[in-house]
Amino acid sequence: MHDRAEEFTERAEREYDFEVDVEEFPEGTKTAEDAAEAVGCDVAQIASSIALRADDRLVVVVTSGANRVSTDKVAELVDADSVEMADAGEIKSVLGWSIGGVPPFCHDGDVLEYMDETLTEFETVWAAAGTPEAVFPIDPEELQELSGAQVADVAE
């Protein structure tokens, strides 16, 4: 197992008492479509963690792979004047993970988190496990509970 996926697995167990069942794909799961094809699920079941800069703070939106995040809806949710994609350096320094491998929980810093309501329609969704090649299955209700995310309409 990749070092970062192993780190996520150990952290999830230690911090959340959650046993992660990591599946790794050497060809990568860099897009929601790649991940869905690799695990054999609908693209809507991919739970992508998107880090956004909302004014002066970082916000994580765990969205369905079938949707694009509406920055206007996120701005309204967090009462921000502007919302844009966060840069890679900030994501790494605040969350402790790199783009493409950001899990929905086990972040280094406290951030406001939202979860796309579309994900609640499934029994199982798949999220990044620390690298762009590693994913894990999770019940959306448990994902919401562990991440502390507020379920919301965040899709364009």
| Local confidence pLDDT in tens for the 156 residues of the chain | 788 999 999 999 999 999 999 999 877 667 788 888 888 999 999 999 999 999 999 999 999 999 999 999 999 999 999 999 999 999 999 999 999 899 999 999 999 999 999 999 999 999 999 998 899 999 999 999 999 999 999 999
Q: Residue 23, class by beta-carbon neighbours within 10 Å (0-12 exposed, 13-18 middle, 19+ buried)?
A: middle
Rg of the chain over CA atoms, in angstroms?
14
Q: 69 near 35, Cβ under 8 Å?
A: no
Q: 92 near 108, Cβ under 8 Å?
A: no
CA–CA distance, 155 with 18 (Å, rounded to integer): 28
CA–CA distance, 56 with 38 (Å, rounded to integer): 36
In this prediction, residue 102 carries a pLDDT of: 95
In this prediction, residue 132 carries a pLDDT of: 87
In this prediction, residue 39 carries a pLDDT of: 87
In this prediction, residue 38 carries a pLDDT of: 84
Q: Which of 12, 18, 19, 2 is nearest to 100 (CA)?
A: 2
* pTM of the predicted protein model: 0.92
Sign of CA dihedral 101, 105, 111, 113: positive
The domains of the chain, with CATH numbers, are 3-152 (3.90.960.10)
Both tokens assigned to 49: 């963690």
